[in-house]
Chain A
Amino acid sequence: MDFSAIIPALPGLADGLWMTLKLMALGVLGGVLLGTLLALLRLSPNKLLANFAATYVNYFRSIPLLLVITWFYFAVPFILRWITGEDTPVGAFASCLVAFVMFEAAYFCEIVRAGIQAIPRGQMGAASALGMTYAQSMRLIILPQAFRKMTPLLLQQSIILFQDTSLVYTVGLMDFLNAARSRGDIIGQAHEFLIFAGLVYFTLSFAASQLVKHLQKRLAV
């Protein structure tokens, strides 16, 4: 084992890590936004909307992420061509991001829904009694409390996404794992680079989940 080749490769690996973090951050942001919207639909008294959201969630939770990524890689350009009538190259990054957002939204939806349902019903009653509309009550009273309650769960889910971003290698995107593997392969030291990549994933994920645990304790008070 010779780890010395990793040092000159560090800038390239850093680029890969940046890609991974970018995918995670944007995936979480989009996933939480879409997931919140889905959660509101699922809790809506309108049966049609609630069923639509439930079907969406159940569908995306029943298929592998890898499938969604490859599927979107082929589907997104095709759909765009169908809409715009011309070839619109979107690239692997955009299609992966769409896949992550759509997939993660299903999980975030359930977290947000549980968070909303954990707020006592009287809060909605009090907000309504003060003359707030449903949208105002949700935005000003219910969601701020719900998000506070579910922050640890959202972060935990984000850590899972951090690891799952490695699946983008299937469509050739240079994330951290792909950057490490390809560099190791070229110089014939695949093992060293993969061990190093594993250490980095472990360190970041473990540190983040310790942070979440700490946060959980603080928010519980």
Chain B
Amino acid sequence: MISIQNVNKWYGDFQVLSDCSTEVKKGEVVVVCGPSGSGKSTLIKCVNALEPFQKGDIVVDETSIADKKTDLPKLRSRVGMVFQHFELFPHLSITENLCIAQVKVLGRSKAEASKKGLALLERVGLAAHAHKHPGQLSGGQQQRVAIARALAMDPVVMLFDEPTSALDPEMVNEVLDVMVQLANEGMTMMCVTHEMGFARKVADRVIFMDAGKIVEDCPKEAFFGDLSARSERAQQFLAKILQH
């Protein structure tokens, strides 16, 4: 579904991604972790071309991003993304947030879009909030709306960029529950997250990044199984975050 092939990216002289390659198969859930500044968020933003890269290619559902002829907005409309800071549109109501891209990008009718939006809102347990504005919801609720908004586009794959990092601890689970449910339904997912409990529960594979490189890329069982088989950098990282 996603094939990342030798992706390199520089900010000026500074190389943020070097020779990153991996695959995400249909229905697979891949968790990307690593210390801050390791390039994991940058890598996931390359997958829907929000961040440009200079070398290599990423192919999403048979569409090449490096190909100049690719209609990037059209590609992005098929790839759902959830952001660290939710990024709901504050000037629109929750219903409008869910409908605007369905109507303006996919050309669905208003009635069709709001029916779809409300069904998804129901699914993330927020149907009662449809008429409110994003500012009136808690962080966890906003992030669930953001997931519903992405799902409303019927994406072939969902990208999550640290979806729980900006949340109060007690709101993390409500968002993770939605993500787990989504994974169990067979959605193809690539998630940048430090939630190792989530990774243990639903991930098929775990990727560990450091200094712009993919250091580890292995099945979950191997990643959490025999720590001594992991690279030194991954061991240090895991020792720090698994302690608690």
Produce 1/0 per residue, B123-157, CB < 8 A to A: 00000000000000000000000000110010000
Q: Say whether B87 contacts A128, CB under 8 Å.
A: no
CB-defined A-B contacts under 8 Å, sample of 17: A123-B89, A125-B83, A126-B88, A127-B89, A127-B101, A128-B50, A129-B48, A129-B50, A129-B76, A130-B150, A131-B74, A131-B101, A131-B105, A132-B104, A136-B105, A140-B100, A145-B91
Other A-B pairs beyond A123-B87, A131-B101, A132-B104, 13, CB < 8 Å: A125-B83, A126-B87, A126-B88, A128-B50, A128-B73, A129-B50, A130-B150, A130-B153, A131-B73, A131-B106, A132-B73, A141-B89, A144-B91
Q: Which size bracket describes the interface of A in this complex? A: 10 to 19
| Neighbouring B residues of A126 by C-beta, 8 Å | 81, 83, 87-89
Produce 1/0 per residue, A112-156, CB < 8 A to B: 000000001011011111111100100011001100100000000
| Neighbouring A residues of B43 by C-beta, 8 Å | none
Q: Say whether A125 contacts B101, CB under 8 Å.
A: no
A27 to B83 CA separation, bound complex (whole angstroms): 41
Contact of A130 among B76, B85, B90 (CB under 8 A): B76
| Neighbouring B residues of A136 by C-beta, 8 Å | 104-105
List the A residue with the shortest CB-CB distance to B90: A145
B183 → chain A, closest Cβ, in Å? 20
A126 to B82 CA separation, bound complex (whole angstroms): 8
Q: Say whether B83 contacts A140, CB under 8 Å.
A: no
A residues 193-221 with Cβ under 8 Å of B? none
A148 to B106 CA separation, bound complex (whole angstroms): 27
List the A residue with the shortest CB-CB distance to B72: A128
A residues 13-38 with Cβ under 8 Å of B? none
- Scoring A122, A125, A130, A140 by chain B CB atoms within 10 A of each residue's CB, the highest score goes to A130
- Say yes or no for B5: interface residue by CB 8 A criterion: no
| Neighbouring A residues of B64 by C-beta, 8 Å | none
B residues 75-121 with Cβ under 8 Å of A? 76-81, 83, 85, 87-91, 100-101, 104-106
Q: Say whether A122 contacts B48, CB under 8 Å.
A: no
| Neighbouring A residues of B48 by C-beta, 8 Å | 129
A20 to B153 CA separation, bound complex (whole angstroms): 50
| Neighbouring B residues of A132 by C-beta, 8 Å | 73, 101, 104-105
Q: Say whether A129 contacts B79, CB under 8 Å.
A: yes
B114 → chain A, closest Cβ, in Å? 16
A129 to B48 CA separation, bound complex (whole angstroms): 7
Q: Say whether B85 contacts A129, CB under 8 Å.
A: no
B133 → chain A, closest Cβ, in Å? 12
Q: Say whether B76 contacts A122, CB under 8 Å.
A: no
| Neighbouring A residues of B50 by C-beta, 8 Å | 125, 128-129
| Neighbouring B residues of A148 by C-beta, 8 Å | 91
B139 → chain A, closest Cβ, in Å? 14
| Neighbouring A residues of B149 by C-beta, 8 Å | 130
A47 to B101 CA separation, bound complex (whole angstroms): 30
List the A residue with the shortest CB-CB distance to B106: A131
| Neighbouring A residues of B87 by C-beta, 8 Å | 120, 122-123, 125-126
